[in-house]
């Protein structure tokens, strides 16, 4: 998940009223049934196991991504939706051809480092490149150092995520500039390559990848992420020795055009089939990651909403449209293709809901919409406070649904307990074993309840 | 942790007021500093690693429990408390001499099963015992079946925890009778031994132990826990075959008297050294468990409160007394010894606070006290809602502090996200790797803030 800003406002003032004022008894009964169903079902967790074991590393354009589309399509198909189809399109892509490498040389010693290519990084020559290490903690530090100090160096951006922040997304936002823009900044001063400290709250050996961008007109230099443990080690070695050098090797390629698709399925509305509630997540994951939390869990939660509706015989008033997006991680091409489609389709979209914050304990929903919509959804979802969904308010929807804002469609994103998220995110540690079935299913139940409440009651 | 009942009342009505009405600005500043300090420190997590690697399986009376006392005493000692001492005493105990075993025989086949002795179980003869399997889901089922059906059988209690419950402690409460009383009930009808489905919300291979009790005057028969996966397997085999037999082997002994101790340390009050705030957790863990969540995390959180107070130069008005209890899991002997001491000491205890719900995301505090005390603490801790501590209200304090209720001392227990708790509890899966440092430290910060607020402002 790429996450920009997230501001959640506690619903303190709203809580003043009693819940009973707002919640219909039938709503409460249905919500209870949804939670019971979700918590006792293993289907979505088993689906997640299938997806992550058969199609790990499903970056757009990869074979694994094609397999993921087929797996998810078959999983959805079992629930007999009214419509299922692929929204196919062509997109440029990129891939990591072989595992990147890094070795630090100091005195007469050398040690290899746990690294991974950052997304969109260029290759080194076959024999790799070697350069002296220059450790900095900010991009601006390079301005002060100037070209003389930076030229031909491997610039090592080593600012840690700020663990004093109570939400990890805030800490992520405070460190991401190194990964996103570090390489272009270093290249402007003539650096040979870049190592970036992994964006993780943990001290361990997993390197984390993620998208990086090259500024136009600037030389593209290799851009590699190093695990937090090895970032600490490299920093120590660099302090204790002079002339520390690093050899790095990167082997990647851009792909001009890859055929891929979004996966769309619908439960047709019984009264207003022309009105749509979109529920979405993204199918792709980074090449090094099984992609269980990011965002296999989101896909399986959304598919499970269909299962729950079928099993509880909830017939939606409006059309519930499942959209599993491709390519959230690199170009957001699936998101753009779907938004283009919505622009032409001219159906009324009531809301769009995304799950891309991991299969972790859900705490609420972020809403990106006007105040009256936010207030209405807060009121509508008051019964969910009893289920721990207490942080619903102004906030961020999701990367994939973001372009729908241009059409005035309210964006809603599931908010989870973020404490463990950056122990997994964009790394080989993002495994099914690290997803708690119950936590993931509480998220499913929260989303299914939100869909049910909005579908039945509208947003008034 | 043994957990009886837990009723948490959402503080909806209280939230009506604005937080600013109650919270002093200095309190807010200090709370912010406490959280920042806790989240950026690795000390307590490293302490937990030390405890669980050097003293796993620290059941009262074991060598590991002696080592645990020494490790924790040294960890506390580094923080230079005003007093540190051992409250030594003698207690009966019990131990598992070697790993219990179980093999199912059906047709010409046999398969071994993942099992663990339940606490206080008697041994089988050296060659084990063999009996036909009788699967039941309730204790009452034996009444209907009668002695003829039960005699010489291995009774297999296979009622699963009810995953439809939103808090896992409720599901635990609904299944624990099988573990606690199943053996005595089966023995009354002449059963040879008992297998009990592990109390876990997960389907996997870890068997979970826990205390079981024999009713007086009833024959003590071997009492063994089987993993949830193997409980399912055994049930399937038993359905598909006739005359399915199980061989079980248990090798345990009771210990008449073991020398052990509670560990006590104090930061003396600057104005009221004679008034005491107790903060506690328990040092012991089951023989098969590293005891990271249960309750190493609680011990390290409480020790870390001292560290934070020292580092932030918070000088308590009243005496903060750390009590690390021995033997929560079997006889609660440490708890009784401390309560006896409090009865004789006649110092005023303001409150007692326990952490025994795992190093998981904290959500609030359960308070076992009169309504006026509950209301006062809810008001006092309103600033903690911003940190996700929103579920503070009437509830359960903790097993170790429970006897302090006789003296009218308010009991306060940390409430955590329980979703993952029974993936770890009383099993070999209760490892440091399954503790998130950030989640554990949010608990530490919540407790330190609670101590700070009560110490400074009193309970009005």
Q: Quick check: bond before A275 cis, omega within 30?
A: no
Q: Select from B35, B26, B29, B95 the least CA-distant residue to B61.
A: B95
| Domain identity same for B76 and B20 | yes
| Domain identity same for A229 and A123 | yes
Give the mean pLDDT of A403-427.
98
| Domain identity same for A36 and A106 | no
Report d(CA A406, CA B287) in Å as an integer: 60
Which residue in chain A is spatially nearest to B168 when comparing CA positions? Answer: A438
Report d(CA A439, CA A387) in Å as an integer: 12
Max distance between CA atoms of chain B, in angstroms, equals 76
Residue A10 with chain B: CB contacts under 8 Å: 385-386
Query: Please, are residues B179 and B210 in contact by the beta-carbon 8 Å criterion?
Result: yes
Q: How far is B433 from chain A (nearest CA, A)?
A: 11
B163 within a domain of the structure (yes/no)? yes
Q: What pLDDT is attached to residue A16?
A: 36
A72 within a domain of the structure (yes/no)? yes
- Between strands A318-325 and A115-117, the pairing is unpaired
Report d(CA A71, CA B359) in Å as an integer: 37
Query: Please, are residues A201 and A161 in contact by the beta-carbon 8 Å criterion?
Result: yes
Q: Which of A10, A12, A41, A386 to mutate to test the interface with B (most CBs of B within 10 A)?
A: A12
Burial of B374 (0-12, 13-18, 19+ CB in 10 A): buried
Which residue in chain B is spatially nearest to A16 when comparing CA positions? Answer: B16
- The per-residue pLDDT for range B415-454, each reduced to its tens digit, is 999 999 999 999 999 999 999 999 999 999 999 999 999 9
B187 within a domain of the structure (yes/no)? yes
Q: H/E element holding B131?
A: strand B129-136
B242 touches chain A (CB under 8 A): no
| Domain identity same for A295 and A433 | yes
| Domain identity same for A116 and A163 | yes
Determine, for residues B164 and A19 on separate chains, whether the beta-carbon distance falls below 8 Å.
Answer: no
Report d(CA B17, CA B382) in Å as an integer: 10
Determine, for residues B438 and A40 on separate chains, whether the beta-carbon distance falls below 8 Å.
Answer: no
Q: How far is A201 from chain B (nearest CA, A)?
A: 8
Q: H/E element holding A235?
A: helix A228-240
- The per-residue pLDDT for range B56-106, each reduced to its tens digit, is 999 999 999 999 999 999 999 999 999 999 999 999 999 999 999 999 999
A46 touches chain B (CB under 8 A): no
Determine, for residues A36 and B386 on separate chains, whether the beta-carbon distance falls below 8 Å.
Answer: no
Write down the mean pLDDT value for chain A: 94
DSSP letters, B57-107, are: S--TTSHHHHHHHHHHHHHHHTT--SEEEEEEEEEEEEEEEEEEEEEEEET
SS3 B437: helix
Residue B17 pLDDT exceeds 70: no
- The per-residue pLDDT for range A101-156, each reduced to its tens digit, is 999 999 999 999 999 999 999 999 999 999 999 999 999 999 999 999 999 999 99
Residue A61 zone, left/alpha/beta (φ > 0; ψ -120 to 50; rest): left
Token digits of residue A331? 């170009």
CATH of residue B217: 3.50.30.30
B88 within a domain of the structure (yes/no)? no
| Domain identity same for B276 and B331 | yes
Report d(CA A51, CA A70) in Å as an integer: 10
- The per-residue pLDDT for range B221-262, each reduced to its tens digit, is 999 999 999 999 999 999 999 999 999 999 999 999 999 999
Which residue in chain A is spatially nearest to B38 when comparing CA positions? Answer: A164
Of the listed ranges A342-346, A351-355, B181-185, the least confidently predicted one is: A342-346
| Domain identity same for B283 and B188 | no
Count helices and strands in chain A by DSSP H and E runs: 12, 14
| Domain identity same for A51 and A167 | no
Report d(CA B239, CA A373) in Å as an integer: 55
Banded model confidence at residue A25, pLDDT cuts 50, 70, 90: confident
Query: Please, are residues A326 and A379 in contact by the beta-carbon 8 Å criterion?
Result: no
CA B374 to chain CA mean position, Å: 23
Residue A146 lies in domain: 94-255
B341 touches chain A (CB under 8 A): no
Task: Give me the sign of the Cα torsion angle A122, A97, A323, A419.
Answer: negative
Banded model confidence at residue A9, pLDDT cuts 50, 70, 90: very low
A59 within a domain of the structure (yes/no)? yes
Q: What pLDDT is attached to residue B26?
A: 86
B168 touches chain A (CB under 8 A): yes
Residue A10 pLDDT exceeds 50: no
Q: Which of A438, A439, A442, A443 to mutate to test the interface with B (most CBs of B within 10 A)?
A: A438
B149 within a domain of the structure (yes/no)? yes
Phi, psi of B115 (to 5 degrees): -135, 165
Determine, for residues A438 and B163 on separate chains, whether the beta-carbon distance falls below 8 Å.
Answer: yes
Q: How far is B94 from chain A (nearest CA, A)?
A: 34
Q: What pLDDT is attached to residue A225?
A: 98
Domain final position from B197, B227, B254:
B254
Domain final position from A231, A255, A279:
A255
Please give the tally of structural domains in chain A: 2
A386 touches chain B (CB under 8 A): yes
Determine, for residues B168 and A390 on separate chains, whether the beta-carbon distance falls below 8 Å.
Answer: no
Q: What pLDDT is attached to residue A23?
A: 59
Task: Give me the sign of the Cα torsion angle A137, A143, A149, A151.
Answer: positive
Between helices A437-457 and A297-311, what is the axis angle to 10°?
Answer: 60
Residue A190 zone, left/alpha/beta (φ > 0; ψ -120 to 50; rest): left
| Partner-chain residue, chosen from A15, A386, A437, that has the shortest CB–CB distance to B15 | A15
Query: Please, are residues A361 and A2 in contact by the beta-carbon 8 Å criterion?
Result: no
Which residue in chain A is spatially nearest to B386 when comparing CA positions? Answer: A10
Residues in Cβ contact with B13 at an 8 Å cutoff, skipping those fewer than 6 apart: none
CB atoms within 10 A of CB A56: 23
Report d(CA A401, CA A408) in Å as an integer: 12
Count helices and strands in chain B by DSSP H and E runs: 12, 14
- The per-residue pLDDT for range A324-338, each reduced to its tens digit, is 999 999 999 999 999
- The per-residue pLDDT for range A373-392, each reduced to its tens digit, is 999 999 999 999 999 999 99
Q: H/E element holding A99?
A: strand A83-106
Determine, for residues B203 and A386 on separate chains, whether the beta-carbon distance falls below 8 Å.
Answer: no
Give the mean pLDDT of B282-300.
98
What DSSP character marks residue B293?
I
Query: Please, are residues B102 and B221 in contact by the beta-carbon 8 Å criterion?
Result: no
DSSP letters, A346-379, are: -PEEEEEEE--S-SS-EEEEEEES-HHHHHHHHH
Report d(CA A260, CA A88) in Å as an integer: 6
Residue A35 pLDDT exceeds 50: yes
B72 within a domain of the structure (yes/no)? yes
Banded model confidence at residue B24, pLDDT cuts 50, 70, 90: confident
Q: What pLDDT is attached to residue B120?
A: 96
CB atoms within 10 A of CB B188: 16
- The per-residue pLDDT for range B303-323, each reduced to its tens digit, is 999 999 999 999 999 999 999
| Domain identity same for A308 and A420 | yes
Query: Please, are residues B279 and B319 in contact by the beta-carbon 8 Å criterion?
Result: no
For the stretch A195-215, what's the b/e string if a residue is b when 16 or more beta carbons lie within 10 angstroms of its beta carbon? bbbbbbbbeeebbbbbbbebe
| Partner-chain residue, chosen from B10, B363, B387, that has the shortest CB–CB distance to A385 | B10
Q: H/E element holding B377?
A: helix B371-380
Query: Please, are residues A39 and A387 in contact by the beta-carbon 8 Å criterion?
Result: no
| Domain identity same for B242 and B155 | yes
Which residue in chain B is spatially nearest to A204 when comparing CA positions? Answer: B433
| Domain identity same for B297 and B237 | no
Burial of A5 (0-12, 13-18, 19+ CB in 10 A): exposed
Residues 201-240 in B contacting A (C-alpha not used; CB under 8 Å): 201-203
Q: Select from A100, A6, A21 the least CA-distant residue to A418.
A: A6
CATH of residue A430: 3.40.630.10
Report d(CA A161, CA A169) in Å as an integer: 10
Determine, for residues A438 and B419 on separate chains, whether the beta-carbon distance falls below 8 Å.
Answer: yes
CB atoms within 10 A of CB A122: 18
- The per-residue pLDDT for range B129-140, each reduced to its tens digit, is 999 999 999 999
Residue A7 pLDDT exceeds 80: no
Q: How far is B435 from chain A (nearest CA, A)?
A: 10
Q: Select from B365, B298, B368 the least CA-distant residue to B328.
A: B298
Token digits of residue B381? 């801790």
Residue B390 with chain A: CB contacts under 8 Å: 390
A373 within a domain of the structure (yes/no)? yes
- The per-residue pLDDT for range B345-401, each reduced to its tens digit, is 989 999 999 999 999 999 999 999 999 999 999 999 999 999 999 999 999 999 999
Of the listed ranges A215-224, B5-14, B206-215, the least confidently predicted one is: B5-14
| Partner-chain residue, chosen from B42, B419, B439, that has the shortest CB–CB distance to A436 | B419
Query: Please, are residues A88 and A98 in contact by the beta-carbon 8 Å criterion?
Result: no
Residues in Cβ contact with A452 at an 8 Å cutoff, skipping those fewer than 6 apart: A27, A30, A31, A34, A309, A314
Q: Quick check: bond before B417 cis, omega within 30?
A: no
| Partner-chain residue, chosen from B12, B168, B361, that has the shortest CB–CB distance to A361 | B361
| Partner-chain residue, chosen from B15, B203, B361, that has the shortest CB–CB distance to A12 | B15
Report d(CA B112, CA B100) in Å as an integer: 11
- The per-residue pLDDT for range A58-71, each reduced to its tens digit, is 999 999 999 999 99
| Partner-chain residue, chosen from B163, B203, B363, that has the shortest CB–CB distance to A39 | B163
pTM for the whole structure: 0.94
CA A84 to chain CA mean position, Å: 24
Q: What pLDDT is attached to residue A454?
A: 98
| Domain identity same for A285 and A419 | yes
- Between strands B109-112 and B83-106, the pairing is antiparallel
Residue B229 with chain A: CB contacts under 8 Å: none
Q: What pLDDT is attached to residue B23?
A: 59
Domain final position from A255, A280, A301:
A255
Q: What pLDDT is attached to residue B279?
A: 98
- The per-residue pLDDT for range B138-173, each reduced to its tens digit, is 999 999 999 999 999 999 999 999 999 999 999 999
B417 touches chain A (CB under 8 A): yes
Residue B361 with chain A: CB contacts under 8 Å: 361, 417, 419
Determine, for residues A16 and B15 on separate chains, whether the beta-carbon distance falls below 8 Å.
Answer: yes
Q: Which of B36, B42, B390, B423 to mutate to test the interface with A (most CBs of A within 10 A)?
A: B390
Residue B420 with chain A: CB contacts under 8 Å: 436, 438-439
Residue B363 with chain A: CB contacts under 8 Å: 388
Q: How far is B77 from chain A (nearest CA, A)?
A: 26
B166 touches chain A (CB under 8 A): yes
Q: How far is A23 from chain B (nearest CA, A)?
A: 15
- Between strands A272-282 and A318-325, the pairing is parallel
């Amino acid at each position: 998940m790429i996450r920009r800003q997230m501001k959640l406002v506690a619903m303190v003032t709203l809580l003043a009223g009693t819940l009973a004022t707002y919640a219909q008894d039938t709503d409460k009964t249905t919500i209870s049934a949804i939670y019971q169903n979700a918590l006792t079902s293993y289907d979505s967790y088993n689906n997640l196991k299938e997806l992550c074991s058969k199609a790990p590393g499903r970056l757009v354009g990869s074979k694994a991504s094609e397999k993921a589309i087929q797996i998810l399509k078959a999983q959805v198909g079992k629930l007999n939706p009214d419509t299922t189809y692929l929204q196919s399109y062509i997109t440029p892509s990129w891939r990591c051809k072989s595992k990147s490498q890094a070795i630090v040389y100091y005195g007469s010693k050398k040690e290899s480092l746990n690294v991974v290519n950052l997304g969109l990084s260029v290759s080194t020559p076959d024999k790799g490149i070697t350069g002296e290490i220059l450790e900095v903690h900010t991009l601006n530090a390079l301005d002060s150092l100037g070209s003389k100090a930076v030229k031909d160096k491997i610039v090592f951006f080593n600012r840690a995520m700020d663990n004093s922040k109570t939400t990890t997304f805030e800490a992520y936002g405070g460190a991401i500039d190194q990964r996103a823009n570090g390489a272009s900044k270093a290249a402007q001063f003539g650096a040979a390559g870049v190592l970036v400290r992994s964006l993780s709250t943990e001290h361990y050996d997993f390197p984390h990848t993620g998208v990086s961008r090259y500024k136009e007109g600037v030389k593209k230099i290799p851009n590699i992420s190093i695990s937090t443990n090895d970032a600490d080690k490299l920093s120590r070695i660099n302090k204790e020795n002079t002339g520390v050098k690093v050899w790095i090797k990167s082997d990647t390629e851009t792909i001009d055009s890859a055929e891929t698709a979004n996966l769309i399925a619908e439960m047709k509305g019984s009264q207003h089939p022309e009105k749509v509630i979109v529920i979405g997540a993204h199918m792709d994951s980074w090449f090094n990651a099984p992609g269980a939390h990011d965002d296999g869990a989101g896909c399986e939660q959304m598919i499970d909403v269909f299962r729950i509706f079928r099993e509880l015989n909830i017939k939606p008033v409006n059309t519930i449209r499942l959209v599993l997006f491709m390519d959230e991680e690199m170009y957001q091409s699936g998101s753009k293709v779907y938004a283009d489609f919505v622009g032409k389709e001219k159906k009324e979209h009531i809301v769009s809901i995304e799950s891309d914050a991991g299969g972790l304990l859900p705490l609420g929903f972020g809403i990106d919409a006007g105040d009256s919509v936010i207030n209405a959804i807060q009121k509508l979802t008051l019964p969910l406070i009893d289920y721990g969904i207490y942080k619903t308010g102004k906030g961020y929807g999701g990367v994939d649904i973001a372009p729908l804002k241009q059409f005035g469609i309210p964006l809603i994103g599931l908010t989870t307990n973020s404490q463990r998220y950056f122990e997994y995110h964009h790394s080989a540690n993002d495994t099914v074993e690290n997803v708690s079935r119950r936590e993931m299913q509480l998220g499913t139940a929260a989303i299914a309840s939100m869909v049910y409440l909005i579908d039945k009651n509208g947003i008034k």
